[in-house]
Amino acid sequence: MPEPINLKVGDEIELTIESLAFGGKGVARTDDLVVFVKNALPQQTALCRITKKHRGYVEAVLLETVKASPSSVEAKCQHFPTCGGCTFQDFDYEGQIEQKKSQVVDIYRRIGHIPDVELVEVVSAENIFHYRNKMEFTFSNRRWVLPEEEEGADRSFALGLHVPGRYDKILDMEECWIQKPVGNDILRIVKETARERGLKPYDVVKHKGFLRNLVIRVGERTEEVMVNLVTSREEPDLLSPVVARLTKEVPQISSIVNNITRRKAGVSYGEWEVPLHGPPYIREKLGGYTFEISANSFFQTNSVQAEKLYGAALEFADFSGDEILYDLYCGTGSTSLFMSSHVGQVYGFELIPPAVEDAVRNGVCNGVTNCRFFESNLDKYFRVTPILKEIEKPDAVLLDPPRAGMHPKLVNDVARMKPRKIVYISCNPSTQARDVAVLTESGYGLERLAMVDMFPHTPHIETVALLLAS
């Protein structure tokens, strides 16, 4: 599509937003050109400035609302919209769901090459605030200064979330509306104590300083709380005042750990871990099972919706009771155990060693005897190990990969296993649709597709797909 010669970077133009694209940007059109507008809502008319030109489309930022969207609402959070954690707090929840539904269908038509796709089920969130059981905050000596602040404001300390598009700037936060209320108490106490004691945030440019991350986990059903303090070196004496105040003022805290990482990359998990208070895990209940979750293990961040997500996957699978199930990307074993009473045997595969250890322990704690877990790099595991000769071939495969989706070779590996059923859980419908397209070329057909909203006020989408061998 040719670019109009009269539209260039820096131009200001009035646009009416038609819909939201996957990822959250508003979609408008002018001169047969698609314009993606940041922080815009459907049916909003706005003055926008062109920021980037591409072949076939341009990008723009919203300068001023001319006519508000009928779906706009007042955001609850004082940090909105500077904080990029909640993109749509100003968009009513029903509108969010409708846009996400449309995005999934569009993605499957364009990327999955399935023109007649339909969502058989849409599960909205039970709680649209305070739903996250895990939040990860960052310390910084490069605080983001707000426009309304006076010149010369102190920038030397912040504890909060990254400003969108900036790896080095942190918005100092007072509260977060999507984490549990106890998390806001912890955020405040850690920030106050660190500042009082002169504990230095880590500088991501100079690679100096002590405090790197604050990670908070909460058991939705158990109300147990873990505080994970990520630091650049092991100095427990420096953290003792923080630990003392947390345990005194928040008795709900059952675990405090210190993860230490010397890596320059901005990662929130450590090379090693030091327990500071209580056990190095918290417990959560899901589907009648109790899970022990360590600091660095993956666990679904919305426990209420996770139970509904796994329930949808179980319904899609329609097990007869004697199947051999492979659970790929099994994490701490939550999906494996959830499915275990409905199949004959589960084999779980996971890359992260602490997660595998958690999975094994969770199986033992719950008295589950038909689950085995393997530490495995799934990008190559089934081609470089003799595992397929040592265990039964799968009747069904359960997939729950990270946002990037499956490695192309793993997609082919799964197809070669020839399971009768594939149940694919995804936090990124684009990569899921891409993988499904390859599987359909390998003899599978998409039978059912559902969406479970795990993350209200964000552009993230969780989907479940059922594929059957033809």
Sole residue written with tokens 């010669």: 5
Q: Beta strands 45-54 and 121-123: pairing type?
A: unpaired
DSSP E strands, 130-288: 134-140, 158-162, 170-172, 211-218, 225-231, 253-260, 272-277, 281-286
Q: Is 427 a catalytic residue?
A: yes
281 neighbors 226 (Cβ within 8 angstroms): yes
Residues 6+ apart with CB under 8 A from 388: 382, 417
DSSP 273-299: EEEEES-SEEEEEETTEEEEEETT---
Which of 18, 78, 60, 7 lies closest to 43, judged by CA? 18
For residue 121 the two structure tokens come to 């089920």
Extended beta strands in 165-260, E state:
170-172, 211-218, 225-231, 253-260
Q: CA 149 to CA 437: how far, in whole Å? A: 51
Tell me the C-alpha distance between 274 and 253, whole Å.
16
Structure tokens given for 201: 């945030």
At 101, list the tokens: 């539904």
For β-strands 345-350 and 371-375, DSSP reports them as parallel
Largest CA distance in the chain: 69
Q: Distance (Å, rounded) from C-alpha 383 to C-alpha 397?
A: 17
Output phi, psi for 375, to 5 deg: -75, 125
Just list the catalytic residues: 427
